[in-house]
Every structure is written in structure tokens, then in C-alpha cells.
Amino acid sequence: MEIFVIIGVVALLAIFVVAQYNRLVRLNISVDEAFAQIEVQLKRRADLIPNLVETVKGYASHEQSTFDAVVAARAKATSATGVADVSAADGMLTQALRGLLAVAEAYPDLKASSNFLSLQEELSTTENKVAFARQFYNDNVRALNEAVATIPSSFFAGFAKVSAREFYEVEDPQSREVPKVNF
Amino acid sequence: MSANFRNAQGANKRKTYFLLVAMGLLTWVVAYAALTYFGAGTTTFVVPLAVGISLVGVWGSYYGSDKLVLTMTGARVIQREDNPELFNVIEEVVIASGLPMPKVAIVEDSAPNAFATGRNPEHALIAFTTRILEVMDRDELQGVIAHELAHVANRDTLVSAVAATTAGAIAILSDFLTRMMWFGGGRDRREGNGNPFLLIVSLVIMLLAPIAAMLLRSAISRRRESLADATAVAFTRNPAGLRRALETLAGDSTVVRQRSNAVAHIWIESPLDGKSVSQLFATHPPIQERIETLRAMESLGPNQ
């Protein structure tokens, strides 16, 4: 009789350990997947840029410094690896693109061209996708970091070779700036 | 209690469990009443039969829900080329939710509305009426899509199938038993309890159980709608988009010319509740209440 009780307790313990281990590994994989999704969307955005720059150039050829900033930011963004680098380059490119679109505002012919309109739709949906991919990544990191830090899953983190991961934070100077208030 | 989307999701999930447990208990009470009234012989035959019929009926439609609903609503599946902008917005929310890309369908209808179905995220389908695509701006549409994908993520086709099976089994059981009473039933009453008070109580339970089951089923549906609103905010972090979409829906009095009342509960705005006598039987919470909840989430700021 006692032998069955012991076997039962051991089996339950084994199931518990396996479940904790698998949960941590799964959370870790979803963080990897979510990061891959950010990179896919950033790549899509980078691919749109040459076309966009060419289109704007057709109407506003003398805005060379804006084009250079976008091209430089794009080069940096396509070569970056790792969460910190990618997010820094991402922020710079977002900033440069904002400049480019601001230039476009001054040229009514450009704004009305069908090519520009379809590029603008593509760009805005890609911007949204990048933003949602970041948010999804950060949600996954949050779930993983919570599991790594809380009992009982925290006991198995070392065993599963899983540790807390970095959040994806965008270096966007504009969103950091304190708004000026005049009285 | 601060009404952010995480709390709202947790509360609605807990209430669903509670309601599903209540439904299980109700089934048990009905079976017990049958046992008291008719005795073991009839009951052991009738209860499994009623549950079986209900299971076959509901789970067949659950399994083929994506195809079945297409025929019942007259929706037509579209591809990316048909409406690239709609697909762009859907893809955005898909990325935010981490779900696979659903099938997309259009219903030719002059009422703005939308629904989601499918037995699991891999077989999900979301549909929009032609009118909703005309009246909503990008943010509102994003909110509506997020609400529909939230149903997919929360497995609401499964939850409503479970609720429908239980309610169906109770209805069939009650129907069988009342018929048996009129047509010389209770043959083996000697086996059962002879206490007249208990017999009357059992009778009342059997007669009223289907109504109670319907009330529970509607309550579950309402909780899943509130949950989908909260989950939608978790996807987009933009309660204002969905709130404005609901306001547009509330302001529009046209209803979907649907072919069957059987699929009324799947739309984002119920086509029936306007006529409903009592809110207790409504499949959706009052739209003003949903708007207020979202407004409260907006006031918490962008980072909740």
C-alpha cells in the first residue's frame, strides 16, 4: 500500500518539475519569436525607404540633407544586431522618417501623387506593425521576467538555463523631451 | 478598483468560470429532480440521451463553425488584393495579439457590424459588413478588429459551445420529462420517492430549468463580450478607438438583415437585443455600459 502512495507522490512531483521547466522554456522561445517579428517588420520598413526617398526626390530634389539622414539611419538600422542596438537604430530611423514626411508636407503635388499616397499607407501600416511587434515583445519579456522572478518557477530558472530578458525601449528624442510650458 | 484592462480581463474570466460551474450544478439538479420524480430506471436512460443529442448537435456546428457561419450569414471570404487597406489594419492587430492570420470575409449589408468565429485560432474567421468598412475610420476599425480577434484569442466559440451544449441538454431533458409526465409517464414511480412535496419540487425544477439555463447562457455571453472589450484594449492599448466605434454602432439604428436568429449572438453589436424585453436574456451588455468601461480605461492614460 505505502509503495503506491510513494510512487504517486514521486510521479506528481515529476509532473510538476516538468511543467515548470517546459513553461520557462516556452516563455523564453516566445520572447525569441517576438523579437524575430520586430526584425521582420523593421526589415519591411527599411525596404520601403529607397522607393520613398526616390519619390520625394522627384519633387523636392534640393532637400539633400534630409535624404542623407534617412539613408544613413537606414544603413545603421539594417546592420544592427541585439536588442539594445536594434532599438537605438530603430529610434533614429523613426526620427529621420518623420523629417522626410515633414518635407513632403511642403509639396502639394507630391502629397497628391498616387505613388506617394500608396507609399504613405504602406509606411504608416508598417510603423504600426513595428509598434505592435515591440509591444508584443515587451509583453512576452514581462511574462518571462515575472516567471523568472516569482516562486515557484524561479527555482527552476537556472536548471532550464532561462534568465530575465531586456525590454525593447525606443530611443526617440521627441518622446523624451519635456514639453515647454510658457506662462 | 482601478478598471484597467488586466483587472477587467481577470474579473470577466473569473465570472465565466463561476457561471459555467453554475450551469454544471443546474444540470446536476435537473438530473436529481428526474431521479426523484421518475426513479432510477427512466433517469439512467433519459439523462445520457439528452446530453448525447445536445453534444452531437452543438459540437458538429462547433467543429465546422467557420464554414457553417459563412452560409448562415451569407459572408464571402476575400483575399488581400480585394482590400489591401483592411488587410493592413488586420495584420497590425494580428501582430499585436500574436495570433495566426485569420480568414477575412465580407457580408453585403447596410448595417455596420462584425463577427468572429472558428473552432480555434488556426481556423478563425472574422467578418465585416460592407457598411462598417464605410463608416469607420482607421482607429475605430482597429478597435473592432481587436474585439473580434479577442474573441478568437479567448476561445469564445468553445466557451459558447460548452454553454450551448449544457443549456441544450437541460432543455431536451426537461422536454422529455414533461412529455413523459403527460403520456402515462412515471411508470416506475414506485422506485422513486413517494413524498408528494419532493415530487412537486422536482416537477417545478424540471419545468423552470430551461429558463434558468437560458439566463445563465446569456450571462456567459455578456461576460465574454466584456472580456473581449478588455482584451481588445490589451492588444491595441487604445481604448478610444473601440469606444468611438461602439458609439458609432450605438448611433446607428439599422440592424443586420440576417438570415437566422441562431447566429445573432456572434455580432459585435447584437442585432436582437434592441427588441429584447428583459436585459437578463440579452447576449450583449448594454452598449452604453461598454462605452463607459472603455472611457474609464482611457482616463488611466496610455500606459495604464
- For B256-279, the pLDDT digits (tens) are 666 556 667 777 777 665 555 566
- For B117-165, the pLDDT digits (tens) are 888 888 899 999 999 999 999 999 999 999 999 999 998 888 888 888 8
Choose the mutation target among B80, B85, B92 for the interface with A, i.e. most A CBs under 10 Å.
B92
Nearest CA in chain A to B303: A135
pLDDT of residue B282: 77
Q: Give the contacts of B100 (CB within 8 A, at least 6 positions apart).
A: B94, B121, B122, B124
The verdict on A66 touching B (C-beta cutoff 8 Å) is no
Contacts of residues A103-107 at CB distance under 8 Å and 24 or more positions apart, as own/partner, are A103/A56, A103/A60, A103/A63, A103/A66, A104/A56, A104/A59, A104/A60, A106/A60, A107/A56, A107/A59, A107/A60
- For B213-248, the pLDDT digits (tens) are 988 988 999 999 999 999 999 999 999 999 999 998
CA B297 to chain A, closest CA, distance in angstroms equals 18
Query: Looking at chain A from residue 102 to 161, which residues have their Cβ under 8 Å from any Cβ of chain B?
Result: 121-122, 125, 128-129, 132-133, 135-136, 140
In the annotation, is B148 catalytic? yes
> For residues A121 and B85, is the Cβ–Cβ distance under 8 A?
yes
Q: Do residue A125 and residue B98 have CB atoms under 8 angstroms apart?
A: no
Instruction: Tell me which chain B residues have a C-beta less than 8 angstroms from the C-beta of A136.
Output: 95-98
Q: Do residue A125 and residue B89 have CB atoms under 8 angstroms apart?
A: yes
* Calpha distance A79→A93 (Å, rounded): 13
The verdict on B139 touching A (C-beta cutoff 8 Å) is no
The verdict on A170 touching B (C-beta cutoff 8 Å) is no
Q: To the nearest whole number, what is the mean pLDDT of chain A?
A: 83
A98 has a pLDDT exceeding 80: yes
* Facing B96 at nearest CB: one of A121, A122, A136: A136
Instruction: Tell me which chain A residues have a C-beta less than 8 angstroms from the C-beta of B89.
Output: 125
Report ipTM for this prediction: 0.77
Q: Do residue B95 and residue A125 have CB atoms under 8 angstroms apart?
A: no
CA A181 to chain B, closest CA, distance in angstroms equals 20
Q: How confident is the model at residue B102 (pLDDT cuts 50, 70, 90)?
A: very high
* Facing B92 at nearest CB: one of A122, A125, A140: A125
Q: Residue B44 corresponds to which cell in the numbers above? A: 439512467
Catalytic-labelled residue, pool B81, B85, B92, B148: B148
Nearest CA in chain A to B138: A125
The verdict on B237 touching A (C-beta cutoff 8 Å) is yes
pLDDT of residue B278: 60
Nearest CA in chain B to A132: B96
* Facing A136 at nearest CB: one of B85, B88, B98: B98
What would the DSSP string read from start to end of B83-133?
-HHHHHHHHHHHHHHTPPPPEEEEE--SS--EEEE-SSGGG-EEEEEHHHH
- For A136-154, the pLDDT digits (tens) are 999 999 999 998 888 888 8
Q: Do residue B95 and residue A133 have CB atoms under 8 angstroms apart?
A: yes
Q: Sheet containing B76-78: which strands, arranged edge to edge?
A: B76-78, B103-107, B125-129, B114-117
Extended strands (E) in chain B: 76-78, 103-107, 114-117, 125-129
> For residues B149 and B101, is the Cβ–Cβ distance under 8 A?
no
* Calpha distance A37→A39 (Å, rounded): 5
Q: What does pTM read for this prediction?
A: 0.83
Q: Which whole-number Å values give the CA distances from B51 to A115, B59, B165, in the listed order? A: 61, 12, 8
Across the A:B interface, residue pairs with CB atoms under 8 Å apart total: 28
* Calpha distance B74→B58 (Å, rounded): 21
